[in-house]
Chains A and B, each alone.
Chain A
Amino acid sequence: MSRILLNRRSFLATTASAGAMVILPNRAGALAAAPVKGGRLVVAGDSEPANLNPAIVASNGVFFVASKVIEPLAEQSYEGSDGLAPRLAISWEGSADGHTATFKLRDGVTWHDGKPFTSADVAFSALEVWRKLQNLGRVVFKNLESVETPDDHTAVFKFSQPTPFQLIRNALPVVTSVLPKHLYEGTDIAKNPANQKLVGTGPFKFGEYKPGEYYLLKRNDAYWQKDAPLLDEIVYQILPDRAAAGNALEAGEIQLAAFSAVPLADLERISKVPGLKVYPNGYEALTYQLIVEINHRRKELADVRVRRALAHSIDHAFVVKTIFLGYAKSATGPIPAYDKTFYEPDTATYAFDPAKAEALLDEAGYKRGADGNRFTLKLRPAPFFNETKQFGDYLRQALAKIGIDARVVSNDTPAHLKAVYTDHDFDITVATPVYRSDPAISTTILFESGLPAGVPFSNQYGYANAEVDRLIKDAASEIDAAKRADLYKELQRKVADDLPLINVAEFSFISVAHDSVQNVSNNPRWAVSNWADVWLRE
């Protein structure tokens, strides 16, 4: 169908590549899969963020569209050193004392409005946007004092306190989207019109946004990378109904549905549809963790034996196989196994063993009453995913087996967040924190004590452990990468033993694409990367 909608430029592009084939007939024949330029990729879009600026809102819903327009300094990669591939920066280095980080920037990059990209843009973005306004940048660049720009292609970040370069490096793809200084300087950054009509250096220019209908991105002919991008246009067709994505794929109305827009339960059927391919990879850097949050203010739950009993009551194999239909992995602790740098496999584990759970509860002094129940818990499953709700239903049954009566309380997202993270009106919950390549920006917030009420997805559990707090504090200023990783490994051993919350599974998303779409899922943040190398086979 995209053929019918050919515009003049893509018509020229296809005729040009047809001309190239005439000149080099042998090459075209030998490399049947050589990338073809042109075409329009239609993608299922699910959310329409109020603010589309990835430098301010570092979230996946924003990146899904904005990452094609505004680029970070570096992107995640399966092959690159430190798991990174260069984007606007070509090299990076941290000083031994943790006080400076130096970035060499790419030459010959221009903004979509024609102005050259320089180190001044990076300095401005870091000081005025990432450090001040961005949800994650506030943590990473907390101690950023100044950014020196000795020349147009060097930016030197100066920190007042030692800041682990490992953390900065791991956070580069997420926190360093560079904004054009000339459009933002001297304006109210949070209200700048360019937050909706994005201007960046990326392979695609922002074309048009029709609320409730679509986002349109157009090819950037002046992109710094040679022969890229390959697509002429990307259209994000807004399909708020999850069931619609599968049908739209089958009907050929869209060619790609990312972020599990097609429900897991439909994948087996969809995978058998000729012409459609299911990609379970390409989201490793966006790993979600299915956890049970525990309110330590409840007398019963303050007892570690009771928490261990809860852990023993959960059958990880059932969760992975039945709830996630195999598209998840059982978790052992708060850092996912895919992160080779920080993951500690050697921790206390809690096998599925209801009998042992009952023994632990008896030992803790909570015997079954006359009605078979030991005590009642208020269970609040997060409403974010189908799977969180289903796991909530499962957990209620699993706990019933060991004599704990869990009453499910369900709410919409705002009410759920308020009840759990502000009012602490829960006993246990089902939640899904995201792991973002470094414990300092994803894991520690779930364990450190003394956070103010109202911070979502953080330790609002009334859990305080001096040893855990010390490890987190030490790691925050440890500039030696190996020592820092060791501190986090010790943290994992500690919390696996003390069990302030229960990690059940790690899951991510699935993409479904037409087999004509090439180079799908070729990096660990694929859906939120720039898609410069994506192309459509005829």
Chain B
Amino acid sequence: MKRWRQLNLEGRAGCVLLVALVLMALLAPLIAPGDPLAITGEPMLRPFSSEAHMLGTDRLGRDVLAGLLHGTRTTLLVALFSAAVALSAGSIVGTLAGFLGGIADMVLMRITEAFQTVPAFLLALAAISATGPSVPTLIFAISLGTWTQAARVTRAQVLSLRERDFVAAARTLGMRPLEIAFREILPNAFGPTASLAAISVAAAILIEAALSFLGFGDPNRVTWGSMIAEGRTVLRSAPYLSIVPGIALVVTVLGIHLLGRGLSHRERLQP
């Protein structure tokens, strides 16, 4: 509760939105049991016109609400994991580069820059078209373009930390260099990197949706992006099919953004 009180209004709003989303994801099998891709009703029912299908049905007669709820699972799964992969990969590379310095730093940073010159979305698109779409490959493809930021931030942190006294102390204690890098420096450098998490998750959600929209999502799972893509063909006659998952997407990214802002605000307030 202490933390909640420290959060400002923005942060609280974001927190509420995200908790609601996580609840949606967790409760999806209870609210909408069975395969969300099953054909359960008349095609193209409008929202609120049938009790069995609160948000209507799509062109094949699949329930939009079930798709939305189960889509939350896919979206959050892919987003959280790819952000985690991106942050860990980025901080490892950044720590190594910053701590080792010299040629290792040169090589690692040039590689990072090479990745940075290509837009993250293009990298993801290329990776997916080479590997074929499934959840693990999606996570890999998205993190491929998003780890670089974490690497650069971590490296900057490490560069300033490695000259500090506690590192010198660790060295005189006889700790091995890699031990110093990952047990002493990285934990201290991780704070600013972690605040990138919100941006990473939001970026991952948008990339995942865009990939699914282009037909590069896992076809055996519902995702918001694929729902929007399917709805697009009937955009003029049944706009709700694109609008409903679109709103979900906006709310999610907004929630993460608000929470991120709230957290960084709190950081600044702390002594």
A residues neighboring B (CB under 8 Å): 242-243, 246, 263, 265-266, 268-269, 322-323, 383, 386, 389-390, 392-394, 396-397, 400, 407-412, 415
Contacts and interface: CB of A to CB of B under 8 A. Distances in A.
A390 B237 contact: no
A263 B233 contact: yes
Give 7 nearest A-B pairs by CB, closest first. Answer: A408-B219, A265-B234, A410-B219, A263-B233, A269-B237, A322-B43, A397-B39
Contacts of A407: 220
B184 interface: no
Contact of A412 (B39, B60, B129, B238): B129
A415 B132 CA distance: 9
B236 A266 contact: yes
A266 B237 contact: yes
Interface in B46-61: 59-61
Contacts of B129: 412, 415
A350 B219 CA distance: 28
B23 interface: no
Interface centre among A269, A394, A410 (most CB of B within 10 A): A410
A269 B236 contact: yes
Interface string B215-234: 10001100000000000111
A392 B230 CA distance: 13
B235 A410 contact: no
B59 A390 contact: yes
B236 A409 contact: no
Contact of A383 (B61, B132, B215): B215
B26 interface: no
B233 A409 contact: no
B38 interface: yes
Interface centre among B129, B133, B233 (most CB of A within 10 A): B233
A318 to B, nearest CB: 8
Contacts of B60: 322-323, 390, 393-394
Given A397-B37, A410-B215, 19 more contacts: A263-B233, A265-B234, A265-B238, A266-B233, A266-B236, A266-B237, A268-B237, A269-B237, A322-B60, A322-B61, A383-B215, A390-B59, A390-B60, A393-B37, A393-B60, A400-B35, A407-B220, A410-B133, A411-B132
A242 B39 contact: no
Nearest to B35: A400
B176 to A, nearest CB: 47
Contacts, number: 57
A382 to B, nearest CB: 12
Interface residues of B, number: 21
Given A323-B60, A407-B220, A246 B35 contact: no
Given A410-B133, A412-B129, A265 B219 contact: no
Contacts of A408: 219-220
A320 B267 CA distance: 60
A512 to B, nearest CB: 14
Nearest to B134: A409
A265 B215 contact: no
Contacts of B219: 392-393, 408-410
A383 B61 CA distance: 21
Given A265-B59, A322-B60, A408-B220, A386 B215 contact: no
Contacts of A389: 215
Contact of A242 (B38, B132, B233): B233
A75 to B, nearest CB: 33
Interface centre among B38, B60, B232 (most CB of A within 10 A): B60
Contacts of A410: 133, 215, 219
Nearest to B238: A265
Contacts of B37: 393, 396-397
B197 to A, nearest CB: 31
30 contacts: A242-B233, A243-B232, A243-B235, A263-B233, A265-B59, A265-B233, A265-B238, A266-B234, A268-B237, A269-B237, A322-B43, A322-B59, A386-B233, A390-B59, A393-B60, A393-B219, A394-B39, A394-B60, A396-B37, A397-B35, A400-B35, A407-B220, A408-B219, A408-B220, A409-B132, A410-B215, A410-B219, A412-B129, A412-B215, A415-B132
Interface in B94-142: 129, 132-133
Contacts of A411: 132
Contacts of B215: 383, 389, 410, 412
A268 B237 CA distance: 9
Nearest to B40: A397
Contacts of A243: 232-233, 235
A412 B216 CA distance: 9
Contacts of B61: 322
Nearest to B221: A408
Nearest to B130: A415
Contacts of A266: 233-234, 236-237
Given A383-B215, A412-B129, A400 B233 contact: no
Contacts of B235: 243
Interface in B64-83: none
A268 B37 CA distance: 26
Interface string B223-260: 00000000011111110000000000000000000000
Contacts of B38: 397, 400
Contacts of A400: 35, 38
